[in-house]
Chains A and B, each alone.
Chain A
Amino acid sequence: DAGVIQSPRHEVTEMGQEVTLRCKPISGHDYLFWYRQTMMRGLELLIYFNNNVPIDDSGMPEDRFSAKMPNASFSTLKIQPSEPRDSAVYFCASSPGGRTGNTIYFGEGSWLTVV
């Protein structure tokens, strides 16, 4: 299995620009998660989906952030407009289901720098 695939791996953009991060979960996994990692705040859950439906988006920092999962094999996290404080590593993760004990598999991350 190829694992969770994220793109781009690295992105540098100017403040005010739109940023779209992409994720392909592991085939057959029902749950998809978007996390953000920064030095100051550590790892934070932004949003997660179950069977393509957003379940909890309480971690999304503000309206500039949006996430979609149009089908079981693809999700996007969009920031519009981007700000320097959005600079972070964004991880996508997936798991086989909500049953207790399922391992959550993380992608390699998208390193975002907003200048």
Chain B
Amino acid sequence: ELKVEQNPLFLSMQEGKNYTIYCNYSTTSDRLYWYRQDPGKSLESLFVLLSNGAVKQEGRLMASLDTKARLSTLHITAAVHDLSATYFCAVDLTGANNLFFGTGTRLTVIP
């Protein structure tokens, strides 16, 4: 059974600090997605990682993928309040964009 685990589940951090969210998955895949969800809202695509060693950056967020370790990370640099949201990673097993989502990490950035 596929498992996609994120940690931490809850993260409270001060503005200006750095932190990393981890996403571990239990089976082979080289396609990993990161999404953001604000309370009561839809899911917004952040990154699509397609190969081992892939790294993508957008603003204060940087995502990476290590397929051998079955690990993806989402690094937050100099957090700001606007980054407060729930972040999900998702694994595509079949190549048909059939995503299995992680548990989510609820991030709160404190001024």
Query: Could you list which residues of chain A lie within 8 angstroms of chain B, going by C-beta atoms?
Result: 31, 33, 42-45, 48, 50, 55-56, 91, 93, 95, 98, 100-109
Contact = CB atoms under 8 A, between A and B. Distances in A.
A42 B97 contact: no
B61 to A, nearest CB: 16
Contacts of B96: 31, 48, 50, 55, 98
User: Which bracket fits the contact residues of B?
Assistant: 20 to 34
Contacts of B35: 106
Contact of A109 (B42, B88, B95, B99): B42
Nearest to B33: A104
A43 B88 contact: yes
Given A42-B104, A45-B99, A101 B45 contact: no
23 contacts: A31-B97, A33-B97, A33-B98, A33-B99, A42-B101, A43-B90, A44-B101, A45-B98, A48-B98, A55-B96, A56-B98, A91-B42, A95-B97, A98-B95, A100-B31, A100-B50, A101-B48, A103-B45, A103-B48, A104-B45, A106-B44, A107-B42, A108-B41
A48 B92 CA distance: 13
Q: Which of B31, B42, B101, B103 has the most CB of A within 10 A?
A: B42
B69 interface: no
B22 interface: no
Contacts of B100: 45
A43 B95 contact: no
B43 A106 contact: yes
A45 B44 CA distance: 17
Contacts of A103: 45, 48
A67 B31 CA distance: 27
A64 to B, nearest CB: 23
Contacts of B43: 91, 93, 106
Contacts of A104: 33, 45, 97, 99
